[in-house]
Amino acid sequence: MAELNALFLAVGQFCRREVVCCAPEDNLMVAAAQMRQLKVSSLVVCTQQQPVGILTDQDLRNKVAAAGLCSKHLCVAEVMSSPVIQVNAATALYEALYRLSRYKIRRLVVTDDQGGLFGILSDSDILRIHTRSPQQLVLEIAEAEQVEQLKELHQRVGQLVHYLVGTGVATVELVRLVAHLNDRILMRLTELLLAQDFADMTEDFSFMVLGSEGRKEQTLTTDQDNALIYADGLAPEQLRTLESFSHALIEGLIAIGVPPCPGGIMAKNPTWRRSLSQWQAVLENWFASPTPENIMKVSMFADLRRLYGSSVLTQRLQTSVAGCLRGNDLYLSQMVANLLRFDVPLGWFGGLKSTKGEKSGWLDIKKAGIFAITEGVKILSLAQSIEATATSERIEQLVKSEILEPATAADLQASFFALVQFRLRTQMAALDAGQRPHNLLRLSDLTRMDQERLRAALTGVSNFQQFLARRYPLARSM
């Protein structure tokens, strides 16, 4: 278990801090002699402690020896690999593993928050981790060549999460890992489609994920919520190719095992595949008519995240959303009113209330509290133009903006992750019973301690709803 949990450590806790360096202007022969003397296979090239490149034994072989060059009069800058692939010391190790595989390199330079040299991480360091870990999944996803392979890997993600829940891994790290692996699978599918069937397709598009996927808060199974944006002025043939690509991508996701969105929020549908100007016009319409359906769509778009394609297009769309909401207390009040319609299932004396009707005795954990927290935190963040999308990161930024008191934020974080953990548990129970994962928690299955934890989390949700109602008093009358 300790070996497995190492994948959740920050790279800075795992990398080697002793790094041999040189300067770009150093003589190449002297640098090579230094590598031989110290028995190292690479030198990090730095200028004022800032890494600007890396010189490896492979560089010396391929760029100097194989080319028949004389190293006597060469300097390091003429041979080094630059820019150097870097990773921040706070990054989780599984992300570093992906980059090693993605760029087909053997080592990563590790930097601090100021961009200064912190350490180095090599593939040989990774061998210290047992093979039963997310490492193998990360590598196999990057190397997959067929949709069938990605389908099997997607199933293994669920199996890994099922195992990790019982190992003591923090829920926040577990959710981030699920999002990371799912991102890798979707991106690999996109790469395969572009390489095999759409090599000549325009690059002026962006494939975006929305909702919980945009926030990187998926659990075991999440329906598709995605959209596509493309540049204005594309030729009809380019648009037809984009349409074919979006259909192939969505069908590929379904084949892998990612369920289609029941509401049709998928890039293959023309409603969710538009040009930048078309999307901007649609957003204006949604803001002009704040119906519950339009509010839901705006809320989903506020979580949009580019997964593949043009960052410029995505940024312009995000700017449009932020611009329409910044200072728009009336619309934000409408959004608050929408979430206040979801009653927290607590009785007069703090007792837990189950769902009515045929699901009596069960509680929908998403409607009971997760939705109110994610939406409420999102609304407060949009009002402050906070760019973060993950709920936990938004809460941290709200503290820095002095919108939430530190104690209130800590209670909110605890409530959120407690509810997510309950959601994971009920989804795993459904899988064990041969069912599709759902959000319904059977109250009779809870221990007394579970009931107290759930009651405390829902009390936190109720307190947060009251806070929102006080901040947006108009919401009560809508």
Q: How confident is the model at residue 320 (pLDDT cuts 50, 70, 90)?
A: confident
- Whole-model pTM above 0.75? no
pLDDT, tens digit (0-9, with 9 covering 90-100), for 128-143? 554 446 667 888 898 8
Q: In angstroms, how far is CA 262 from the centroid of its own chain?
A: 22
Q: Specify whether the CB–CB gap between 134 and 160 falls below 8 A.
A: yes
Q: In whole angstroms, how far apart are CA 442 and each of 116, 176, 439?
A: 51, 26, 10
pLDDT, tens digit (0-9, with 9 covering 90-100), for 69-87? 777 789 999 999 999 999 9
Q: In whole angstroms, how far apart are CA 118 and each of 20, 51, 169, 328?
A: 12, 10, 26, 44
Instruction: List the single range of 17-31, 148-162, 310-324, 460-474 with lowest mean pLDDT.
Output: 148-162
User: Mean pLDDT of all residues in the chain?
Assistant: 87
- Give the tokens for residue 142: 């990057």
Q: How confident is the model at residue 399 (pLDDT cuts 50, 70, 90)?
A: very high
- Give the tokens for residue 419: 């509810």
**Contacts (Cβ under 8 Å, ≥6 apart) of 191:** none
Q: In whole angstroms, how far apart are CA 340 and each of 212, 275, 462?
A: 20, 34, 10
Q: How confident is the model at residue 2 (pLDDT cuts 50, 70, 90)?
A: very low
Say if strands 362-364 and 107-111 run parallel, antiparallel, or are unpaired.
unpaired
Q: What is the pLDDT of residue 185?
A: 92
Q: What is the pLDDT of residue 94?
A: 78
- Give the tokens for residue 67: 């080319």
pLDDT, tens digit (0-9, with 9 covering 90-100), for 327-381? 788 889 999 998 898 888 888 766 788 777 667 788 889 988 999 999 999 999 9
Q: Specify whether the CB–CB gap between 475 and 337 falls below 8 A.
A: yes
Q: What is the pLDDT of residue 468?
A: 95
Domain made up of 329-477: CATH architecture: Up-down Bundle (1.20)
Q: What is the pLDDT of residue 127?
A: 54
Q: Specify whether the CB–CB gap between 1 and 129 falls below 8 A.
A: no
Q: What is the pLDDT of residue 328?
A: 81
Q: What is the pLDDT of residue 433?
A: 75
Domain ranges of the chain: 2-126, 144-325, 329-477
**2-126 CATH:** 3.10.580.10
Q: Specify whether the CB–CB gap between 247 and 266 falls below 8 A.
A: no
Torsion of CA 202, 228, 427, 352, to 10 degrees: 160
Residue 18: Cβ within 10 Å count = 7
Instruction: Please say if the pLDDT value at position 5 is more than 60.
Output: no
Q: How confident is the model at residue 291 (pLDDT cuts 50, 70, 90)?
A: confident
**Contacts (Cβ under 8 Å, ≥6 apart) of 67:** none
The amino acid that residue 161 corresponds to is V
Q: In whole angstroms, how far apart are CA 160 and each of 93, 181, 364?
A: 16, 11, 25
Protein fold of 144-325: Beta Polymerase; domain 2 (3.30.460)
What distance separates the 2 farthest-apart alpha carbons in the chain?
A: 84
Q: Specify whether the CB–CB gap between 92 and 173 falls below 8 A.
A: yes
Q: In angstroms, how far is CA 321 from the centroid of its own chain?
A: 20
